[in-house]
């Protein structure tokens, strides 16, 4: 694979390390999502069984419903992470990884190492309103 001008300052070694880190986290997050899904199914079964069999399972049944809500929220979170990671891996393949989606500048290796799925540079992330104002005035002219 030849390096293209699309990658501003990131070298192949750095991108390789980032891809490894992203794939490791993707594995961890999809394992977590699968485990949570399994737990949700188990909780469903428990609720069904305790509903039809015993009165003394009332308290536990209520607890299971709360657990299910929590597990569903955690599952959704894990799936969102997997999507973010997939998007980052696609950017690595496309050669646009490490470029801020707002200003088009470099996100910076330190920030990418800390947050491999980052899509914005520190300035754009921090100055949400300020950058939107700037982009707004710029785009009206164009
Ligand atoms: Zn930016």
Q: Give the DSSP letter string of 65-124.
A: HHHHHHHHHHHHHHHHHHHHHHHHHHHHHHT-TTB-TTT-SB--HHHHHH-TT--S-HHH
- Give this prediction's pTM: 0.72
pLDDT tens digits, 21-31: 999 999 999 99
Q: Over the stretch 58-79, which tens digit does the pLDDT of each residue have?
A: 545 557 788 899 999 999 999 9
Ordered by start, the domain boundaries in the chain are: 10-97, 98-142
Identify residues whose C-beta is under 5 A from ligand 1, the ion. 100, 102-103, 121, 124
Ligand 1 mean position, distance from CA 71 (Å) = 35
What's the CA-to-centroid distance between 98 and ligand 1, angstroms?
Answer: 10
Alpha-carbon distance 91 to 118, whole Å?
A: 11
How many Å lie between the centroid of ligand 1 and the Cα of residue 94?
A: 19
User: Residue 43 belongs to what H/E stretch?
Assistant: helix 12-52
Q: How far does residue 70's CA lie from ligand 1's centre (Å)?
A: 34
């Amino acid at each position: 694979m030849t390096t293209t001008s699309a990658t501003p300052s990131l070298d192949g070694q750095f991108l390789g390390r980032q891809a490894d880190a992203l794939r490791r986290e993707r594995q961890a997050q999809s394992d977590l999502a699968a485990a949570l899904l399994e737990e949700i199914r188990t909780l469903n079964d428990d609720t069904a069984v305790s509903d039809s069999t015993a009165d003394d399972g009332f308290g536990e049944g209520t607890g299971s419903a709360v657990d299910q809500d929590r597990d569903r929220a955690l599952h959704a979170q894990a799936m969102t992470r997997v999507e973010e990671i997939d998007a980052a891996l696609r950017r690595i393949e496309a050669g646009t990884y490490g470029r801020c989606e707002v200003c088009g500048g470099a996100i910076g290796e330190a920030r990418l190492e800390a947050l491999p799925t980052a899509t914005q540079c520190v300035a754009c992330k921090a100055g949400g309103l300020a950058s939107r104002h700037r982009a707004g005035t710029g785009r009206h002219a164009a």
